[in-house]
Amino acid sequence: MIRILSPVLIGIAALAPLVLPTYFVSVATQILIFAVLAMAVDLLAGFTGRTPLCHGAIFGTSAYVTIYAASVVGWPIGLAMLTGILAATCLAMVFGLLAVRTSGVYFLLLTLALGLIVWGVCLRWTEITGGENGLRAQLREDLGLSTRQLYVAVLVTVLCATAAMWRLVRSPFGLTMRGIKEGEGRMASLGYDVTLHLLIAFTASGFFAGVAGALYAVFNDFASPSIVQLSSSVQGLLMAIVGGVGTLFGGFVGAFVIIAMEQTVSAFTERWPTVLGLTFILMMIFAPEGVVGKARLLLKR
Amino acid sequence: MTKLLTSRRSLLKSSAAAAGAIGMPSLVRAADAARPIRIGLLAPLTGVIAAGGKELVEGFQMYWEQVGMMAGTRKVEIVIEDDASNPDTALQKARRLVEQANVDFLFGNILANTGLAVANYVKNTGTPYFIPVIAADDLTQRTRIPNVIRVAGYTASQTAHPLGDWAYKQGYRHVATISQDYTFGHEQCGGFAQVFTEAGGKIVQQFWHPLNTSDFSSYLGQLVTAGADAIFAMETGADSTRFIQQYASFGLKGRIPLLGSMNATDQSVIRTMGADAEGIISCAHFAEGSTDPVTVKFVADYEKRYQKLPSIYGFSHYSGAMWVDEALGKIRGNVEDRALFLKTVLATELVGSPLGKTVKLDAYGNPVYDVMVRKVVKRPDGKLWNEPFETYPQVSQFWKYDPETYMKQPPYSRTFQGIKA
């Protein structure tokens, strides 16, 4: 199924900027970036059974560091992005060290609290982060990329990241992750170091969230506390859930559904958050396994 | 569809260029008159400042309805987008307005971070962006963007400077300040502190509290013992309501005079309040209790239309719309020529607006106002409003400083308040 669909979808994605107006190209860019964030969340939530609420903070840290390194320190943009990704990875490792021994609701709450610390730092450390007003840059302009060129660059990066994540979850390591999700005690008794595996999974997930964050920095030219706050983490998680937890590619579907809905519904009513909320409730009642998960179930029948 | 529009756009551009070359502007007008002027209005209709966002839209629409949705000979279309009080959403919506809805210029936003995000975007597109409420000092100072103009707006520190001067002249020598801990607060507080201390006053203590503080008791206790002749409070929205109420209920009202930032006693705050707010002094370029006939008429019209007195959000967008309309009239609605449009707006002196006397913009795109010292009093019908009793004529964003020298000092922040020891 994947083998037939993916080349078609990639083809459509690659050709899309030729026909779409620039605004929709930038929406599509945003969808791709958030898809990576959603997949990073899914690495943890779907494959190790640990649902994190701090990925917005990791994602945002990468964006902040990228913008700071490029615009304040004056590093080349590529190096700034790598620094951003590195910062996000290190942060994820620290979070992982603190959180992986817990599970279930405790894991959720602990990661939530860790994420809030980042938010608090971004808000209060005004000299570095610009406080409430955030940091601004002209990265896209400096790179000299048009909206369409940026889209292509993001698409290539996102495809590489997706391939890497796909490879990761299909590898023996990925099977171990799934094993931990299904039966943590059994994996431990089989001699697997569960904590270490979880820590590596957490760090890898943070790395990919960092990739998304660095791309977002270039896309948005702007970072403020709103991208590290709780709602940003929730959004990443929501996209993973809507797409289908444990499906990986569901991230694309989730990001597409949520961003497309925001775009269309908000054009008709200022009550768009209500409409979105109701949709999620209905979704959780009738298709808790997400769009991709539901589709798989229906296909199997 | 877009393809069609683009080609029409470039056609317009080339015909404009051709007409300019042979000196026949009438040709352009004939071509443009067919298309309405599209204005993108960004307003926080959801999120923390949704109430203000609604008033912003009301004020803006009220003006255009009064002039029959026409600017000169061209119809005006307003496309409203909700920025959700969030800078990322604001940026996304600005993109949609510029790239998808093809608006000729942008207007609006309330929170500084949303305005800064949009300003950063229009820096590249060159779209004119008018900000009657975004008060971040540097947008018309150190990091000015030529196509971002603060029509009928104000910088955060602009109206705080004269209040510092006024406080010193009242004989206050020791003032404690309390302020919301974010850039808008740092800038307003800094404006007050710099002028007050340079005159010879002393800031005895400064308190910074997080946004959405529900309990001020710990601050109020310290304010009492700070040894201040007066207290300067920089507050907005619900924080302001709570602070003023608690200031009274802790018995400080009447004991230590309270000076407020202009937003602290704005209609959006005091219209739901009682005697607690009476007597607070603040400085602003607008006072709904003014006796100026134009202001009186505007306030009466607004009250009739929306059953409430205008707040700074509604008022500023009404006046901002008037300002841009005036400029559009001069260039016969030719918004397509952005350079000419921006130049004309900058050169437009607004006469007979509810802003009061003739208002003009300084060389940095920020208005110069007669700033009024106002006091919250009760109207005969029991409603509270701000009544002016003293005027500082021609106050620019730089107060009495030389702009170049002023901009060499760092922007106001929690650590830099311009305090002269």
Q: Pick the residue from chain A with its C-alpha nearest to B115.
A: A133
pTM of the complete model: 0.86
Give ranges for CATH 3.40.50.2300 in chain B. 36-155+293-355, 160-290+371-408
Task: Give the range among A279-293, B183-197, B237-251 with minimum mean pLDDT.
Answer: A279-293
State the smallest CA–CA distance between residue A136 and chain B in angstroms.
7
Nearest to B113 by CA among B93, B92, B88: B88
Q: Which superfamily, per CATH, for B160-290+371-408?
A: Response regulator (3.40.50.2300)
Q: CA B316 to CA B258: how far, in whole Å?
A: 25
Angstrom distance (rounded) from CA A27 to CA A204: 27
Per-residue pLDDT of chain A (301 residues; tens, 9 = 90+): 667 778 888 888 888 888 888 889 999 999 999 999 999 999 999 999 999 999 999 999 999 999 999 999 999 999 999 999 999 999 999 999 999 888 889 999 999 999 999 999 998 888 888 888 889 988 888 888 888 899 999 999 999 999 999 999 999 999 999 999 998 889 889 989 999 999 999 999 999 999 999 999 999 999 999 999 998 999 999 999 999 998 999 999 999 999 998 888 877 777 778 888 898 899 889 888 888 888 888 888 7
What per-residue confidence (pLDDT) applies to A166?
Answer: 94
Q: For residues B58 and A41, give the distance between their C-alpha atoms in angstroms, rounded to a whole number.
A: 42
The shortest C-alpha distance from B203 to chain A (Å) reads 22
Closest CA to B400 of B202, B234, B140, B199: B199
Predicted local distance difference test score (pLDDT) of residue B211: 84
E strands present in B104-147 = 105-108, 129-130
3-state helix, strand, coil in chain A (%, to 5): 80, 0, 15
Quick: pLDDT tens for B12-36: 443 344 333 334 444 444 445 568 9
One-letter amino acid identity for A237? L
Contacts of B46 in chain A (CB under 8 A): 270, 272-273
- Backbone phi and psi for residue B10, each to the nearest 5 degrees, phi listed first: -65, -30
Can you give the residue range of the structural domain that contains A284? 2-300
Please tell me the predicted confidence (pLDDT) of residue B8. Answer: 37
Report which of B251, B262, B103, B258 is spatially closest to residue B187, judged by C-alpha positions. B262
Identify the pLDDT of residue B30.
46
For the stretch A170-180, what's the b/e string if a residue is b when 16 or more beta carbons lie within 10 angstroms of its beta carbon? eeeebebbbbb
- Give the CA angle between residues B410, B415, B420 to the nearest 5°: 75
CA dihedral B92, B94, B100, B102 (to 10 degrees): -170
Phi, psi of B110 (to 5 degrees): -115, -50
With 50 as the cut, is the pLDDT of residue B9 above it?
no
- Give me the interface pTM, i.e. the ipTM: 0.86
Beta strands in B285-331 (DSSP E): none
φ and ψ of B234, to 5 deg: -100, 105
Strand partners, A222: A136
Integer Cα distance of B377 and B281 in angstroms: 10
Report the CATH number at residue A77.
1.10.3470
Question: How far does the CA of residue B22 sit from the closest CA of chain A (Å)?
Answer: 34
CB contact under 8 A, A132 and B121: no
Map tokens 């239309």 to a residue: B305
| Burial group, residue B415, by CB count within 10 angstroms (0-12, 13-18, 19+) | exposed
* Chain A interface residues (partner B, CB cutoff 8 A): 21-24, 26, 30, 124, 126-127, 131-134, 136, 138, 140-141, 220-222, 224, 226-227, 263, 266, 270, 272-273
User: Of A136, A272, A273, which has the smallest distance from its Cβ to B120's Cβ?
Assistant: A136
CB contact under 8 A, A134 and B116: yes
Task: Please give the CATH architecture assigned to the domain spanning B36-155+293-355.
Answer: 3-Layer(aba) Sandwich (3.40)
Q: Into how many domains does chain A fold? A: 1
The predicted structure's pLDDT at residue B237: 87
Contact B219, B192 (CB under 8 A): no
Q: Residue A221: which of B120, B183, B186 has the nearest Cβ? A: B120
